[in-house]
Amino acid sequence: LVAILNAHAENEKSAKKFLRNTISDISHQLKTPLAALMMYQEIIEAEPDNAETVKEFSQKIGTALKRIEQLILSMLKITRLDTGNILFEKQSYFIQELIKNAISELTTRATQERKQIIVNGTSNQVIMCDMDWTSEAIGNLVKNALDHTKAGGIIRITWESTPTMIRILVSDNGS
């Protein structure tokens, strides 16, 4: 009983440390787009009559704002997970359907950036999961792979079944 309680206390401590580190990391990541926004604003302010410059940096502002929104939403989700305010609705899904859902918004980006997303696995393999959360997690991994893979690069999504789990792997040939 003591060993179980100690293990539970250690797990709680690790979870709190993970939450603290993740929130700290996200907060740190917010500094980059905020600094960029300030710089872009100064550039636009210095050249208000240069339509091309205003257009270019307005688009960059939009990108930075989307990044900030994404980081804030991630922080809110992590906090909601930690407080137990999120319930997972697990159902059976074909993995191929899960992957398709996860990358649906990323395939256009991959094509525009001349990158390939290759999906390979058993088509009738089923997984028990929450579609929204699992798709988002996989999508985040693919998004990260796209961010760190050069034009002509390949992002692979594969899955395999082991006796104890189904493993979904996202890999790339980028940095």
Question: In this structure, what token pair is assigned to residue 33?
Answer: 């787009």
Average pLDDT over residues 146-160: 94
Distances (CA, A) of 57 to 61, 104, 159: 6, 28, 41
d(C-alpha 148, C-alpha 71), whole Å: 18
| pLDDT of res. 79 | 75
| pLDDT of res. 120 | 93
Bridge partner list, 157? 119, 170
pLDDT tens for 63-102 read: 888 888 878 887 777 777 776 666 778 899 999 999 999 9
Collapsing DSSP states into helix, strand and coil, what is residue 22?
A: helix
d(C-alpha 87, C-alpha 26), whole Å: 23
| pLDDT of res. 86 | 67
pTM for the structure as a whole? 0.59
pLDDT tens for 25-68 read: 777 778 878 888 898 899 999 998 999 989 988 888 888 888 88
Check if the beta carbon of residue 115 is closer than 8 Å to that of residue 156.
no
Cα 60 from chain centre: 20
